[in-house]
Amino acid sequence: MNFKKLLAPNKMYGLSFLGLALTLFTSCDPDETQVVTNFTTITMQDEFDVAGAPNSDVWGFDVGRGTNGWGNNEMQYYTDRPENVVVEDGMLKITAVSESYQGAAYTSARLKTQGKFEQKYGRFEARIKLPWGQGIWPAFWMLGSNFDTVSWPQCGEIDIMEFKGQEPTIISGSLHGPGYSAASPVTKSFELTNDRFDTGFHVFGIEWGEDYINYYVDDVLYNQITPEDADGEWVFDQPFFIILNLAVGGGYVGAPSNATVFPQEMLVDYVRVYAAE
């Protein structure tokens, strides 16, 4: 089992993380008004080192097509089959396949920690190599744990990373809540200057505390969202759970084209969560 709830910081990791933190401060020079924190106490990590199905202590699945393609007219049918989701070679592999399945033209997978791991505040990060191509829509995001009782968008949604396969150098980080959701979230894009997201691994993360969420790609802090930015109630003061998914089609990216190559793989090297402290 890779899943660990660590009561004390991993010393080795703490050291290397300190190095990263120093780099952060010296290289990105964040705006003075931003609150920059660096959390070091791991509360959950999955390094995806044990081959087979994802660790069921951490991950559950959404299966099927949802309502209206999960609210976005997505075109895939989500399964928990190894063809669509498996841990191997030290990676979580989510694979979008072009195949006729249960009335859908594509299959893929969506993993979630709902009911298994939820946390309020802290650092949430994943190291991911993204898939690519028109109509490919991978995401690393979170929903408020009261999702089932208050429904969306009241529960809040933190999109740590969303990506359009047809824009291989750009990701977005967004916040959805009551009054600022769907097509009008609080959002910001980040573009790599001389690199792309589908040819190597990048770390996507947020640091979330009381009244702020900081967005990172690798060692770059590229956005901070505070209650002043939200045109509505700030609902990010309760536990959230994590979602990793690879959608095909949908309003955000449009349908795949003839040039879209299948299968497409979203490779996740690790997911790590740190306590806010």
Partner 1 sequence: MKKFKFISYFTFATVGFLTIALVSCEREFSEDITLATFPTIPEVFTDAPVNLTDEFFVSFDPADGANVNGFDTDSDAYKGTQAIKIDVPAPNDPDGGFIGGIFLDRGEGRNLTEYTALTFWAKGSTTATVGLFGFGTDFLGDKYAVSIEDTNLSTSWRKYIIPIPEASKLVQEKGMFIFSAGTQSTGNLGYSIWLDEIRFENLNTFGQARTEIFNGNDETRTLYNGDFDVFGVSQTVNLGDGTDIDLNIASAYLDYHTSDPTVAQVANGVIAVVGAGSAEITASINGVEATGSLTITSKGVFISAPTPTHDAANVLSVFSDTYTAAVSPTFEPGYGGSTTKFNLASSNNNEFAAYTSNNWTGIEFTSSPINATEMTHMHVDVFVESASTSIEFQIRDIGTNGKINTNVFTGQPNSDDKDYRFQASGLTPGQWNSIEIPLAGNIANQKNNLGAIILAGGPNFILDNIYFYKN
Active site residues: 157, 162
Would you call 259 exposed, middle or buried from its count of C-beta atoms within 10 A (0-12, 13-18, 19+)?
exposed
Between CA 270 and CA 65 the distance in angstroms is 26
| Residue 134 interacting with partner 1 (CB under 8 A) | yes
For residue 24, the minimal CB distance to partner 1 (Å) is: 22
Decide: is 116 part of the binding site for partner 1 (CB under 8 A): no
Give the binding range for partner 1 (CB under 8 A) out of 18-26, 31-39, 187-195, 213-221: 187-195
CB of 27 to partner 1, least distance (A): 19
Contact criterion met (CB below 8 Å) for 93 and 85: yes
Work out whether 265 is an interface residue with partner 1 (CB under 8 A): no
Cβ 161 to partner 1 shortest distance, Å: 17
Measure the N-to-C terminal CA separation of the chain; round to a whole number of Å. 26
- Binding residues for partner 1, how many (CB under 8 A)? 16
CA 251, 252, 257 angle in degrees (round to 5)? 75
Residue 100 found at the interface with partner 1 (CB under 8 A): no
The residues in 195-234 that bind partner 1, with binding defined as CB under 8 A, are 195-196, 198-199
Q: Counting runs of H as helices and runs of E as strands, what totals does the chain give?
A: 2, 18
* φ/ψ (deg, to 5) at 24: -55, -50
Binding piece for partner 1, criterion CB under 8 A, among 53-61, 159-167, 208-216, 222-230: 159-167
89 binds partner 1 (CB under 8 A): no
Q: Are 244 and 140 in contact (CB under 8 A)?
A: yes
Interface pick for partner 1 out of 47, 83, 167, 229 (rule CB under 8 A): 167
Backbone angles phi, psi at 28, to 5 degrees: -110, -15
Which residue stretch of 14-22, 70-78, 131-139, 221-229 sits at the interface with partner 1 (rule: CB under 8 A)?
A: 131-139
- List the Cα angle 240/190/125 in 5-degree steps: 35
Is residue 258 at the binding interface for partner 1, with CB under 8 A as the rule? Answer: no
User: What's 180's DSSP letter?
Assistant: B
Residue 192 binds partner 1 (CB under 8 A):
yes
User: Could you tell me which residues are beta bridge partners of residue 19?
Assistant: none
| Nearest partner of 62 among 150, 160, 141, judged by Cα | 141
81 lines the binding site for partner 1 (CB under 8 A): no
- 95, 108, 166, 214: residue in contact with partner 1 (rule CB under 8 A): 166
Answer yes or no whether residue 169 interacts with partner 1 by CB under 8 A: yes
132 binds partner 1 per the rule CB under 8 A = yes
- Residue 48 one-letter amino acid: F
Binding site for partner 1 (CB under 8 A): 132-134, 165-169, 192, 194-196, 198-199, 259, 261
